[in-house]
Structure 1
Amino acid sequence: MTRWYSWLREQSGPEKFRLYSRLMLHGGIVGVVVAMSLVGGWIGQTVVLVVAGLAAAGAVEAQPELSSWPNTSYRRWASPVGAVVLTGVWLVSAFAFRSGTDEMVVDRARITGIFAALLAALSIIAFAQRKWWIILGVGTATGLVFSSSPEEALLTSVMVVLAGSLLIVTTMVTMWGPRIIDDLEHARELEADLQVAEERLRFARDLHDVVGRSFSAIAVKSDLAAALSRSGAVDRAAVEMDEVKSLAVQSMGEMRTLVRGYRDIGLDREVAGARSLLLAAGCRLVVEGDPDAVPARFHEVAAWVVREGTTNIVRHSSATLATLTLRGTGMTLRNNGVSGEPGGGSGLRGLTDRLTAVGATLDTTAYDDKFSLDIRWEAT
């Protein structure tokens, strides 16, 4: 008993509900077998009823929504075998009813035939595509075969059709639960997969934003140091290389912070970093306004805008002048030196996602050789 209890506790919620549904259907089959056996009262008839009940139970177990059997070959032959056994019981009962002379044998044959039709409705017909037409045909045939008069045939047909329809509805309602549970479980798995995919996209976006500016700065400052070294300004070249080293160390620190799941980014520091990076690239940055003018809850996303916007200026333009405007209602980053039509890369898409998450909007404008990022904190 303890082993079965432990096994039951290890099952998931959907598996427990599926087990409950199977027990409900098998309980219905057992109930019909017991009721018909009590009505019949003959040991031979009871054996036939039990065989038919086992065939019906096997057909129920063959249904994929209910079966706990890992062997799929069992499912392929269980339903046909169950249908053949129930049909055989029905035909034998029909032969005994039509050829029998003993009134008791005729009555038992009639009970057994009706029982086989009802069991078929519960375990076979309920899972068929045209179930209502089939139960109508089976009920009509049962009434015609197991009756001695037109009135009795009509009454038996109506009884079998109604009882069979009730059993079909019972099976459908019982099966509805496991199907809903399976759909919910599938939806839960899809939600988990979407959350994983969303987290991967977030991490890729953060990685792009963190590493992109640092690599751009390292590349620019390395080129500058090489040019200074070739021109004989060794001391200035050494200073630039020291900054390259500092940037590399800082980038590694930011990577570790990112991997730990934290974001350590400040607007003041990003503005200072942008000024240094653009200066090394030959671009002067003019800052209008003050970082304190930006609402506190938008400081982080504003810092990401400065970082990504600066990276794009270095990568995609030959700018000599950039202007960063910070306001209480938004911010703007403009630059010159743009050639061609700016593209919508992953950096801008990442910025759009960040801004949308905090209720802000991003607009880009390109005119002549200028490009502008315009952000409004409150979406209106």
Structure 2
Amino acid sequence: MGDQGDQGVWGRSAWPMWTPARPVSRAARIRGVAVLSLVLLWLLWESLGPGRVWPEAPAARVALGAVTLLYAAGWLGAMVGGVRLPPRRRIPLVGTLFALAVVAALLRDGPLRLGHTGVFGFALVVAVWLLPARWSVLLGLVTLALQVSLGPVDWGHVGGLVPGIVIPVAVTLLIRLVVQLGQAHEEIAALAAAAERDRLARDLHDVRGHSLTTITVKSGLARRVLESGGDPERALAELRDVERLSRQAHGEVRLTVSGRRRPSLAAELAGARAALRAAGIGAVLPPSADHVRAELAGPFAYVLREGVTNVIRHSGATRCEVLLGDDWLEVRDDGPGRNAAEPGNGLSGLAERLRAVGGRIEAGPLPAGGFRLRASRT
């Protein structure tokens, strides 16, 4: 990450990079080239229109016409394609255009009136378009100083030169700023859309993973009870829970999509107790979560849900313990499985949630066996 002084239009090394978020259509490219070509009519009139050519000779006129057309073609190519060149190739391009402008001015007005020509404004436009803004403004000042020194030193001469230098530089800088602001707006919109997709994927993972795991466990328990000829009332109770959980999951998905879901740590504790019991895993849970800091209750609810879901799905544990402090939470199990040692969507999503409140996630096997998931803020 560079120094803040290097950023923005006026940064010390802020090379303009034109990278639109959406591809530019062919019709838009054609319109842009057409507009730039119309601007060149002024350059052709300035160089080839009525006036004194030095020296008065047909060969000089032919040479002036050839140099002017080459200058115009180079200017058009630089404005259209120069934006895709790396910085190291832009400087020679700008230098070549200034050299062609000098040759065209010498052929038209001669060395004694070199300071009166207005063809340098086109080269300055390319400089502002392709070079860092500080460089282009400095180049404009140098060009103005040279034109003043090469012509008769009087205020009328200086007053006539200033618009030819200041207007191209100021207008091009303004256009450049508008284009960059448009690109920044598109980038912000793209980043916002990407962030919303990430949020939606993370929240749906948290909601669906736990709900589907609990529904699967309870459905399996009800099936086993019925297959073994056990108490039908118990099987019906589990099936009622499955129906309730399905409706609850449906509502949570809708709230998640709309961004209005607010997790409850107390509700997650109750849900964890029911899910672990249905899975046949002994549960040791804190009686309440009232002492947890308010700003940590939401992230801890997600950690608890993900941790218990992983215990049920991956650990093969017979016992799960949840420890809860003011600013930390641990989910431990005694299973031989790896649980969630690989940082997938679940753990990466939890890490993002904890970072937002200044916390962190730790996950790994315990020395005596089992697995631990810890969330804390120090």
TM-score w.r.t. length of structure 2: 0.65
Name 2:34's counterpart in structure 1.
74
Name 1:282's counterpart in structure 2.
280
Name 1:361's counterpart in structure 2.
360
- 1:127-276 alignment, distance < 5 Å: 129=94, 130-144=96-110, 154-160=111-117, 165-166=143-144, 167-168=164-165, 170-233=167-230, 234-276=232-274
Distance 1:221 1:179 in 2: 63
Judged with a 3 Å threshold, the aligned counterparts in structure 2 of structure 1 residues 254 and 69 are, in CA distance, closer, same or farther, namely closer
- Aligned-pair distance for 1:254? 1.7
1:142·1:156 contact (CA, 8 Å) conserved in 2? Answer: no
1:328 is paired with a residue whose SS is coil
Distance 1:185 1:358 in 2: 33
Name 2:332's counterpart in structure 1.
334
- Aligned-pair distance for 1:98? 6.4
1:264 is paired with a residue whose SS is coil
Amino acid corresponding to residue 348 of structure 2 in structure 1 = R
Judged with a 3 Å threshold, the aligned counterparts in structure 2 of structure 1 residues 370 and 94 are, in CA distance, closer, same or farther, namely same
- Aligned-pair distance for 1:261? 2.4
Judged with a 3 Å threshold, the aligned counterparts in structure 2 of structure 1 residues 286 and 251 are, in CA distance, closer, same or farther, namely same
Q: Residues 197-247 of structure 1, C-alpha deviation per residue, up to 9 Å, x if partnerless?
A: 101211121111112111000101111111111110123222211111111
Name 1:94's counterpart in structure 2.
53
Range with greater deviation from structure 2 (192-201 or 169-178): 169-178
- Aligned-pair distance for 1:131? 3.1
1:270·1:303 contact (CA, 8 Å) conserved in 2? Answer: yes
Name 1:375's counterpart in structure 2.
375
Amino acid corresponding to residue 206 of structure 1 in structure 2 = D
Distance 1:175 1:72 in 2: 15
1:362 is paired with a residue whose SS is strand
Judged with a 3 Å threshold, the aligned counterparts in structure 2 of structure 1 residues 361 and 96 are, in CA distance, closer, same or farther, namely closer
2:46·2:118 contact (CA, 8 Å) conserved in 1? Answer: no
1:275·1:284 contact (CA, 8 Å) conserved in 2? Answer: no
Amino acid corresponding to residue 269 of structure 1 in structure 2 = A
- Aligned-pair distance for 1:76? 7.7
1:199 is paired with a residue whose SS is helix
Distance 2:116 2:243 in 1: 91
2:46·2:119 contact (CA, 8 Å) conserved in 1? Answer: no
2:317 is paired with a residue whose SS is coil
2:285 is paired with a residue whose SS is strand
1:240 is paired with a residue whose SS is helix
2:52·2:109 contact (CA, 8 Å) conserved in 1? Answer: no
- Overall identity of the aligned pairs, in %: 31
1:292 is paired with a residue whose SS is coil
- Structure (1 or 2) with the larger CA radius of gyration: 1
Count of matched residue positions in the alignment of Structure 1 and Structure 2: 285
- 1:103-142 alignment, distance < 5 Å: 129=94, 130-142=96-108
Amino acid corresponding to residue 155 of structure 1 in structure 2 = L
Distance 1:97 1:75 in 2: 34
Distance 2:364 2:34 in 1: 66
Unaligned 5+ residue runs, structure 1? 1-63, 100-112, 145-153
- Identify which of structures 1 and 2 has the higher relative contact order when contacts are C-alpha pairs closer than 8 Å and 6+ apart: 2
Distance 1:250 1:308 in 2: 17
The structure richer in helix per residue is 1
Distance 2:254 2:109 in 1: 80
Q: Residues 143-191 of structure 1, C-alpha deviation per residue, up to 9 Å, x if partnerless?
A: 43xxxxxxxxx43234448986442554133201111111111011110
Judged with a 3 Å threshold, the aligned counterparts in structure 2 of structure 1 residues 268 and 69 are, in CA distance, closer, same or farther, namely closer
Amino acid corresponding to residue 218 of structure 2 in structure 1 = K
Judged with a 3 Å threshold, the aligned counterparts in structure 2 of structure 1 residues 318 and 162 are, in CA distance, closer, same or farther, namely closer
Judged with a 3 Å threshold, the aligned counterparts in structure 2 of structure 1 residues 69 and 329 are, in CA distance, closer, same or farther, namely closer
TM-score w.r.t. length of structure 1: 0.65
1:350 aligns with 2:349: yes
1:323 aligns with 2:304: no
Amino acid corresponding to residue 261 of structure 1 in structure 2 = G
Q: Residues 309-344 of structure 1, C-alpha deviation per residue, up to 9 Å, x if partnerless?
A: 111111211111111111113111111213247221
RMSD: 3.6
Amino acid corresponding to residue 353 of structure 1 in structure 2 = E
1:289·1:327 contact (CA, 8 Å) conserved in 2? Answer: no
Distance 2:267 2:120 in 1: 79
2:350 is paired with a residue whose SS is helix
Range with greater deviation from structure 2 (300-309 or 253-262): 253-262
